[in-house]
Amino acid sequence: MKTAILLVTGNSLSLAETLHQEMNDSEIFTLEHFPGCTYISSLSDFIEENFDEYDAFIFICAMGICVRTIAPHVKDKHTDPAVICVDSMGRNAISVLSGHIGQANKITQDVAHILGANPVISTLSDNSGLWALDTLGQEFGWEVLVGMSHAYYKNIELLDDDEEEEYGEDEDENEDEEYDEDEDEDEDEEYDEDDDDEDDEDNDEDEDEDDEEDDEEEYDDDEDDNSLILQMRDGTNYNERTKEFNVIINLFVNKYRTALLLEIRDEGTDYLERTRPQHVDVYYHRNDMDLSQYKLLIIVSPFMFFDPAIANIQYVPRILHVGLGLALDPPEFEELFVNLIVGAPGKNICGQAIKEVATIDVKRDVEVIKELQELVDVRFYTAEELSQVEVPNPSATVQKHMGTPSVCEAAAILSSHHGVLYAEKFKGLSKKSTFAIAIENGYLRQGHIEIVGAGPGNPDLISVRGRQMLEKADLILYAGSLVPRELTFCAKPGATVRNSASMDLEEQFALMKKFYDEDKFIVRLHTGDPCIYGAIQEQMNYFDQHQMSYHITPGISSFQAAAAALKSQFTIPEKVQSIILTRGEGRTPMPEREQLHLLARSQSTMCIFLSAGIAEQVQEELLQEYPETTPVAVCYHLTWKDERIYLGELKDLAKIVKENNLTLTTMIVVGEAIGNREGLSRLYAHEFKHLFRR
């Protein structure tokens, strides 16, 4: 962010220099000559010439000077730069202009942090803990659509306009013919990140021509309901758009009853669910909503929403991948672009949701593709890559001409990383192109399983993401023999919490499948890191066989907790540089090449899991290679309230385990790294030069 730091008096030079050092792409401008600063003769002249040239201005002066200087140039919150004012003593940092869209509020927080100042932010949403609707989309990479459906604001007297034009935006139900593969001469794939579809709401003069005067409704002071009807439209200038935003923001911050429709699931929707205000009700399916009960609708969806009876703001996640096929005689660019925006017949897809277009590489030099690349990202695949993808509508004709049975469907699937094929192959307007649309895995509001690592035991040591997963889960299935129940206490009201200790694998699968088929969110909670002796292999195999969506959230392993508890660095320069994670051979056989005595030859730090019950056998094998005086640590219930750690030598390992009745959840650590303070690193030595210290 290009930032101008404006210094009025030299008394505050140190503040300006501190900010300049910590803020990238910043420059100090002063009314006096100082080394390292740019001299300006007039503050007002500089602002007049450069108000549109910088993303942010930080004034270090009295507030009055700041306000009077910028006042003649303030236009609109959608275009104004961020302005922050810092007093000459550096005690307060004040967000003055463009708090949300211009990010002045965020910059104010950063400036206050750098200077140790008090951040002063006056916007209502920030002070009331409500979402900033005008910047919410930016935080999560969502496109924002305001007033898409000539929405009426009824019974809310927020504006004084006596009359507002009605915006009539017809939702285009473009009747595309279904694509006939036998007619297809060439099928290509292509993706598009349809930023340009902003034109659908901001610059659509043609849409305005559709507004008919007989549709205009005039506010009547004598109406029985004493209501103000504000007919929303996609404005053709910033004033109109600002008005629309302001009405929606007013509805929200004044806590009118609001419906929140979340038709996808991602980081942003998780955040909205966690932080939703009391006046907001959450829905996952539009058919479940009774919009007559609400004044405002907030939508997160890649699918269009059209309802003339409610004010709405829609956030559009870019999660759609379009596969594109072209005939030998391709369509004109204008037609191709219209097809991308309109999408598949009957699918109600929002063009702004397109993340990528993909096609076959032999179409790379086709003129219409070159034009498309100027607007969107286009990905190319070889015929060989495409031919490896199983598709619902393979074509012998496409195989003959392109060397693959599918272009558009295969390309969409590959581009989406083997996501859900939402719209199968369909034909463009002139039948010279074919399209298919896929959605990235994990985004659709459907069943999902999150395998979460609980950490070594202490509830505070679960990852932030892990806890967030627990907080939103509809079902928590936890390994009760290894995971403290306290970790499940953060479950949301109504969530089902089950201990899997007494359940066999089939019972666990049946329970998870039941919730999954109900489109629920499931957390399978394992101890430590689930990928290290977590017994998740068979579970993932089941999920894969049943094409169930799942993801792994890692956790802190007990071997890491052991190092921390022992205050030991398990890798010591010139002493030991490897850590071996292994187990003894109990009921589960060990591969011959991984026998303990063979691994012990390296003299590495060895962390031995699941082996307290066979401590004598472990000791016997290790003594074949390690000296009998090698330090050992037997760690029970690491990070739990009843944690116990026993130190000794390898020759006494079995005795330590037996005398203290140690069984489950015991980690055995062997090696010279335990308690070692020799072999110090040279990383921070004065003579050690590297990228950050030359």
Report the pLDDT averaged over residues 7-24. 92
Check whether 158 has a pLDDT greater than 60: no
Report the pLDDT averaged over residues 466-473. 92
Beta strands in 173-277 (DSSP E): 191-193, 230-231, 258-262
pLDDT single digits (tens) 667-690 = 999 999 998 887 666 566 666 665
pLDDT single digits (tens) 279-308 = 999 998 888 999 999 999 999 999 988 776
Long-range contacts of 674-679 (CB under 8 A, 24+ apart): 674/566, 674/568, 674/605, 674/631, 674/632, 674/633, 674/647, 675/566, 675/567, 675/568, 675/631, 675/647, 676/568, 676/569, 676/572, 676/575, 678/572, 678/575, 679/572, 679/573, 679/574, 679/575
Report the pLDDT averaged over residues 190-219. 37
pLDDT single digits (tens) 208-222 = 434 433 343 333 433
CA atoms within 13 A on the CB side of 55: 15
Q: What is the pLDDT of residue 218?
A: 38
Under a CB-based contact definition with an 8 Å cutoff, are residues 620 and 608 in contact?
no
Check whether 203 has a pLDDT greater than 50: no
Q: Most distant CA pair in the chain: distance in Å?
A: 98
Q: What is the pLDDT of residue 608?
A: 95
pLDDT single digits (tens) 227-279 = 322 333 333 344 556 677 778 888 998 999 999 999 998 889 988 988 889 99
Pairing label, strands 311-317, 320-326 = unpaired
Report the pLDDT averaged over residues 301-318. 87
pLDDT single digits (tens) 630-641 = 999 999 999 998
Q: What is the pLDDT of residue 398?
A: 92
Q: What is the pLDDT of residue 693?
A: 56
Looking at per-residue pLDDT, the higher value among 194 and 120 belongs to 120
Check whether 501 has a pLDDT greater than 50: yes
Give residue 694's pLDDT band: very low, low, confident or very high (50, 70, 90). Answer: low
Check whether 155 has a pLDDT greater than 60: no
Calculate what percentage of the chain has a pLDDT beyond 70. 83
Residue type for position 663: T
Q: What is the pLDDT of residue 530?
A: 93
Report the pLDDT averaged over residues 636-653. 94
- Whole-prediction pTM: 0.63
